Chains A and B, each alone.
Chain A
């Protein structure tokens, strides 16, 4: 058997594939953060809680309303995104003129309140959300057995990332948005409703988190703490990619998933820290991040 750094080729390829799946997940979550920060300059610490709410909405929607997975994949991001818009309209807007730190504190506080409430209601053991029937089973890739659902997560997450990138970088709406955040007074003079645009953007970012939450529901036990552990990693990904860079968030997410996956083979004890080591290195060598523009 061919060996790569002392690990059989098949195992190596398998870990690479799993790293890519996790990476697509990181990409999707950090993308939402990057959109919100890049366009609104809000450090959204509620992102983990919003991701968790997505998973919970899918679970409760199925349990009490009989909403199936596919419907949840569409409805849940809309509902949670809508809640996000209310949050932007009635809370975040009031502090938009203040330092970033206030937005960070507000969203962090909200995240703690949401998580604490759900912990009290549901405990932390988590609940299972059934994998949709058509995505059950697995694919034999020759070097590994890949559960079909994980392959689907990879495809769905990447498709959503590309869609978002295209919307913001390649369409007229995206151009308005970028211009509006660059110089909102000028845009308003042209007759564009900038506050509405900002509300919609925040809602979209939150919707992305909720979409990731629905994707995660069949993978991990749905529990109130599922978001907080992920959030810190995702923030590290955004910092490495460059705060606010859309493409940077996607590529860094994928890259970090792979690096983390390989660490799990070669030195598993460091799997939770390797991303932060990369972050420190990047901050030392390129403070604006890999894809960020130097200020």
Chain B
């Protein structure tokens, strides 16, 4: 055999071998594509905390990962759930039936998330929940098919409510959004307030969403409680704080405690109305160098600073893609196992790990809204007061009602 012929034979053999290796690797990835569906409120009350900005964060993660996993391209679909559990569940069912979607990201309103994760469990696909607050998502509603990433009502109550009671705010009136998330937050806050020697003296469950809070604020004023706790989110919280300032709630000696406040809420309300408000957050764009760098890249794309949810969408998607790569498959249980086997320490999460109930526990932060004088820019809104360590922040597994946890 001549040299040329030898070389030719060798390259053919090598090409064939590569092709075999490539196909076996890709055979593990369904349809030769990693298909991600992004489901969130894209147009309503919760749009600004996740919404289109969250989709950008997800696409940034996909681009940073290189656009493909082991040679299989990553494809992203997105849809608006309009905060409706039916719309959300039907969209995801359609994604699975018609497009064979492997993973669903985003997931904001807790009621939507609880409905969607049931569909994911029935079809054995994976869900990465970044927007939802209800701690019940990984408690009584836990499934082997979803992971809750950014925060939940347990650390919110543990951080904010505890700090407020310790400062002397021991009688509370709660304004609660009347659905899964509000109920979960109400339960968690009640537990923390009572455990720290405080008392819930009254409360109202208001419809979701509500634009006029004057009647509820008046009831809160009449209750004589020192603290008016806002167990709601998004536009409801913004509306409630606006109305409370019109009715002079602080002048009459009461104090507001916002239990779930996002960066975009504080930005919309302005520092004048929100200064000194205590809040608990899973991440803040200016909390350190790493966060700042990522936030600047996001800002260049979107023109706004990211919320903790948008940062969490990037972080969870990145961790997912790495797990798919390492596991060599996009099969839900294998990926989840791989994800849980790696600790999470990136720009978003510190001391993060995924527990068997699907909760990603990581350090949380108690923050205070800056005064207008202390703020140096449009987005310079929080001061981080203290860190709540990952293992203390979230509901301990010993109290868990999740069927995946053996108690």
By a beta-carbon cutoff of 8 Å, the part of chain A in contact with chain B is 8, 10-11, 14-15, 18-19, 21-22, 116, 119, 123-128, 131, 138, 144-145, 147, 149-150, 219-221, 223, 225-226, 229-230, 261, 264-265, 268-273
Contact = CB atoms under 8 A, between A and B. Distances in A.
A127 B378 CA distance: 14
Contacts, number: 105
Given A125-B267, A220-B211, A11 B45 contact: no
Contacts of A226: 211
Interface core residue of A127, A128, A264 (most chain B CB under 10 Å): A264
B210 A125 contact: no
Contact of B214 (A11, A18, A125): A18
Contact of A219 (B43, B218, B246): B246
B253 interface: no
Interface in B18-66: 43-45, 47-48
B308 to A, nearest CB: 15
A145 B248 contact: yes
A82 B214 CA distance: 33
Given A11-B222, A18-B215, A223 B43 contact: no
A116 B43 contact: yes
B47 A268 contact: no
A144 B214 contact: no
Contacts of B350: none
Interface in B235-287: 235, 238-239, 242, 246-248, 252, 264-265, 267-270, 273
Contacts of A18: 214-215, 218
Interface stretch (B154-162, B188-196, B200-208, B316-324): B200-208
A125 B235 contact: yes
A268 B205 contact: yes
Nearest to B249: A145
Contacts of A144: 218
B199 interface: no
Given A22-B212, A229-B209, A221 B268 contact: yes
Given A116-B43, A229-B209, 20 more contacts: A14-B218, A119-B43, A123-B264, A123-B304, A125-B264, A126-B268, A128-B269, A144-B218, A145-B221, A145-B252, A147-B247, A220-B239, A221-B269, A223-B235, A225-B45, A264-B219, A265-B219, A269-B205, A270-B207, A273-B207
B270 A128 contact: yes
Nearest to B217: A18
A291 to B, nearest CB: 25
Nearest to B209: A229
Interface residues of B, number: 37
A18 B246 CA distance: 13
Contact of A264 (B216, B252, B267): B216
A268 B204 contact: yes
A15 B218 contact: yes
B327 to A, nearest CB: 38
A124 B47 contact: yes
A221 B264 CA distance: 13
A22 to B, nearest CB: 6
Contacts of A19: 215
6 contacts: A128-B273, A150-B214, A226-B211, A264-B206, A269-B178, A272-B207
